[in-house]
Chains A and B, each alone.
Chain A
Amino acid sequence: AQSVTQPDIHITVSEGASLELRCNYSYGATPYLFWYVQSPGQGLQLLLKYFSGDTLVQGIKGFEAEFKRSQSSFNLRKPSVHWSDAAEYFCAVGALGGYQKVTFGTGTKLQVIP
């Protein structure tokens, strides 16, 4: 069965600092990986996805993520965080070849301080 681990429940960064949110997955085949963001009281918005090709994926809002098969990781990064980035971030894994039972991690709550 597929699974996703987000080891950091909360992260606090200063505005303008760089950010890296960790995500490790477990899946027997080539995974289909996502990062979503959820602002307070909102639904989920897709930041980026990976299913093949270049392992460094660019997303919206200046985010990027790197797929590392050897480490079973798909960490999310941003070079300079803005106060509006404060939200909860979810990593998710699905089966390549179809949208089948996408599994979400437990989320990382990001706080941005001035």
Chain B
Amino acid sequence: SAVISQKPSRDICQRGTSLTIQCQVDSQVTMMFWYRQQPGQSLTLIATANQGSEATYESGFVIDKFPISRPNLTFSTLTVSNMSPEDSSIYLCSAGTGERLEAFFGQGTRLTVV
């Protein structure tokens, strides 16, 4: 199994600012993903972080708002840009490898925008 570390674990940010969340995996993985979990809700996939190329975004999510980097097989960042209170959520990184893989999740970043 892969161990995923996310930083920061939580933050309180002012509206209009940006926050970058880091995700580090302890082994090389094929796939890395970013999810959002709004208060009391399930997980929604934001995008797939592709190594060496632009991320693949799901419907309703755009690169300008959620720029993603993945410079290598063990690291990715998600930036939440120009934040508003509606962006208050838990953001989770997940990673996996192989065809029949299970996703391993980080502990999440609890973001509050005030």
Can you list, as one digit per residue, whether each of B71-106 has a CB less than 8 Å from chain A (1) or not (0)?
Answer: 000000000000000000000101010011111111
In the complex, which residues 57-114 of chain A have their Cβ closer than 8 Å to any Cβ of chain B? 90, 96-99, 101-102, 104-107
Can you list, as one digit per residue, whether each of B33-44 has a CB less than 8 Å from chain A (1) or not (0)?
Answer: 000000001111
In the complex with contacts A90-B42, A99-B31, A104-B43, A43-B99 CB distance below 8 A: no
In the complex with contacts A90-B42, A104-B43, A44-B96 CB distance below 8 A: no
Q: Contact size class for A?
A: 20 to 34
Q: Does A25 touch B at the CB level, under 8 Å?
A: no
**CB–CB B101/A90 < 8 A:** no
Q: Does B107 touch A at the CB level, under 8 Å?
A: yes
Q: Identify the closest chain B residue to A34 (Cβ).
A: B102
Can you give 16 contacting A-B residue pairs, CB < 8 Å? A34-B102, A34-B103, A41-B110, A43-B106, A43-B108, A44-B43, A44-B92, A44-B105, A46-B102, A49-B102, A90-B42, A90-B43, A99-B30, A101-B45, A106-B41, A107-B42
How many residues belonging to B are interface residues under a CB distance threshold of 8 Å?
Answer: 24
- A57–B94 Cα distance when bound, in Å, is 23
- A44–B102 Cα distance when bound, in Å, is 12
**CB–CB A105/B42 < 8 A:** yes
Q: Residues of A contacting B108 with CB < 8 Å? A: 42-43
Nearest Cβ distance between residue B100 and chain A, in whole angstroms? 5
Residues of A within 8 A of B (CB): 32, 34, 36, 41-46, 49, 51, 90, 96-99, 101-102, 104-107
- A106–B38 Cα distance when bound, in Å, is 11
**CB–CB B100/A32 < 8 A:** yes
Nearest Cβ distance between residue A74 and chain B, in whole angstroms? 14
In the complex with contacts A43-B92, A44-B92, A107-B42, A102-B103 CB distance below 8 A: yes
Give the 8 A-B residue pairs with the shortest CB-CB distance, closest first: A44-B105, A43-B107, A43-B105, A104-B43, A104-B42, A106-B42, A43-B108, A46-B102
Q: Residues of B contacting A105 with CB < 8 Å? A: 42
**CB–CB A42/B102 < 8 A:** no
Q: Residues of B contacting A98 with CB < 8 Å? A: 99
- A74–B102 Cα distance when bound, in Å, is 16
